[in-house]
């Protein structure tokens, strides 16, 4: 009975540890949900930036069209336009570099999502192991319940046997009394 009490204590401690682990997993999932929200917001910002760049390129295309139309009148300002074109070339280089950074960022996000997918797989495997362990514990508790039932039945048999022994001792006591009385009667005969 002492060993069973200790075993039940160990099971109670194990269930407490599992409850704490599930709490940690819940907190981790909350952090992942927050991270995914941040990534979604970042992608939205990038989409808005690309839209702005597209609009800017449209404006530049329209400006270049206007410049082509007025080239005859702006022959004397070609030097100024050449300098402006140099600035535009530099701006396009910056945009190309920015697009490269965005491509690299998207690669990092893809890698992060892969890691998160792997982590979720590990969590799923861990939960499967916990489910299997709980099944084993349930089976063990069933065996213990069956053993206690057998012990209860055995104690009942022992109690019944003790009752029979008590009754037999009573009969023996009564028989000894009769024998004592008979011996007393025999002693009265001359």
Q: What integer pLDDT is reported at residue 189 of this predicted model?
A: 63
For 112, residues 6+ apart whose C-beta sits below 8 A from its C-beta are 39
| DSSP 8-state symbol, 77 | G
Distance CA 14, CA 134 (A): 10
Give CA–CA dist 12/110, Å, rounded. Answer: 42
Determine if the pTM surpasses 0.95: no
Q: Output the CA angle 133-134-139, nearest 5 degrees.
A: 95
Model confidence pLDDT, tens digit, residues 148-181: 999 999 999 999 999 999 999 999 999 999 999 9
Handedness of CA 156, 158, 161, 163 (dihedral sign): negative
In a 13 Å sphere around the CA of 147, the CA atoms on its Cβ side amount to: 8
Dist CA 60 CA 139 (whole Å) = 75
Distance CA(79)–CA(50), nearest Å, equals 32
Q: What is the per-residue pLDDT across 14-25, written as a single tens digit (0 to 9) for each?
A: 999 999 999 999
What residues does each domain of the chain span?
136-184
pLDDT of residue 190 exceeding 70: no
């Amino acid at each position: 009975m002492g060993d069973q009490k200790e075993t039940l204590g160990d099971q109670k401690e194990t269930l407490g540890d599992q409850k704490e682990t599930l709490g940690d997993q819940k907190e981790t999932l909350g952090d992942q949900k927050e991270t995914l929200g941040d990534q979604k917001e970042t992608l939205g910002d990038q989409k808005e930036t690309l839209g702005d760049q597209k609009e800017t390129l449209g404006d530049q295309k329209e400006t270049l069209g206007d410049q082509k139309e007025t080239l005859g009148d702006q022959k004397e300002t070609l030097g100024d336009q050449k300098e402006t074109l140099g600035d535009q070339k530099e701006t396009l280089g910056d945009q190309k570099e920015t697009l490269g950074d965005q491509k690299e960022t998207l690669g990092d996000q893809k890698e992060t999502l892969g890691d998160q997918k792997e982590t979720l797989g590990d969590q799923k495997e861990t939960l499967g192991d916990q489910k299997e362990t709980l099944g084993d514990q349930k089976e063990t508790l069933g065996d213990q319940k069956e053993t206690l039932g057998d012990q209860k039945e055995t104690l009942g048999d022992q109690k019944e046997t003790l009752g029979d022994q008590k009754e037999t001792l009573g009969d023996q006591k009564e028989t000894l009394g009769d024998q004592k009385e008979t011996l007393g009667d025999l002693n009265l005969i001359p």
